[in-house]
Amino acid sequence: MAAAGGSRADNGYGSQQQQQPRRRKGPGALATAYLVIYNVVMTAGWLVIAVGLVRAYLAKGSYHSLYYSIEKPLKFFQTGALLEILHCAFGIVPSSVVLTAFQVMSRVFLTWAVTHSVKEVQTEDCVLLFVVAWTITEIIRYSFYTFSLLNHLPYLIKWARYTLFIVLYPMGVSGELLTIYAALPFVRQSGLYSISLPNKYNFSFDYYTFLILVMISYIPIFPQLYFHMLHQRRKVLSHTEEHKKSE
């Protein structure tokens, strides 16, 4: 449940449809129509979050505590990404159910089990780091999927999808780690989500330790995903350049 960052495995920002050198058989007409609607709605939702952040910043004249201005739409649209797991499970997108579930649940976990549950961290500037990274990421990602499904993908969007992760991924991961770290003292003090012995189930769980393990898990996962995305960038963009030259 780590390295959600501003990123997912295929490009740092999602694995709903993998970029392949050879075109695979796409979804049927009905599934395509549904996916277009879904991606348009999600693009619009993250644009609402982006506008909310800008408006709040202009109104306050400060970037501190901007989380409250976009809390509700952030929770709604980030949770809406759970549908992507079903898309994979039902086979309407050619991605791994396990990988997609891992990536989506990482962000949902941070949204609800950390930022929502530990109110004290909501005023921390580190929250804004991952919120901004996620917002830019998702606007690009869902736009990419929408235009790809319509077979009219602008090069600028493709370039942004496979380039901006270079900055946004570390930015998002840093925000996530700092937010979890900021939550630790409050989790320890309150015993949030922890289960102590003795109890009738003879089971104990320390949420404080669990969060530390989550942070440690970023160490092996982040470099793998980041270098994978650098490889994907070279492959996808170089293929595009070769295609342009051949035309």
Catalytic annotation on 71? no
Place of tokens 């979804």: 27
Token digits of residue 42: 């999600």
Whole-number Å distance between alpha carbons of 234 and 41: 30
Q: How many helices (H) and strands (E) does the chain have?
A: 8, 0
Residue whose structure tokens are 């990419």: 144
The two most distant CA atoms of the chain are separated, in Å, by 72
| Alpha-carbon distance values, 181 to 94, 129, 241 (Å) | 35, 14, 42
Residue 106 is encoded by which pair of tokens?
Answer: 């990482």
Tell me which of 169, 207, 218, 226 is the catalytic residue: 169
Dist. CA 46–CA 82, nearest whole Å: 15
Q: What value does the CA radius of gyration of the chain take, rounded to a whole number of Å?
A: 19
> Which residues fall within 8 angstroms of residue 229, CB to CB, at 6 or more apart?
7, 9, 10, 11, 12, 162, 165, 169
Asked about 176 being catalytic, the answer comes back as yes
Is residue 4 a contact partner of residue 176, using CB atoms and an 8 Å limit? yes
Catalytic residue (choose from 176, 208, 218, 226) = 176
C-alpha–C-alpha distance, residues 177 and 122, integer Å: 14
> Which residues are marked as active site?
169, 176
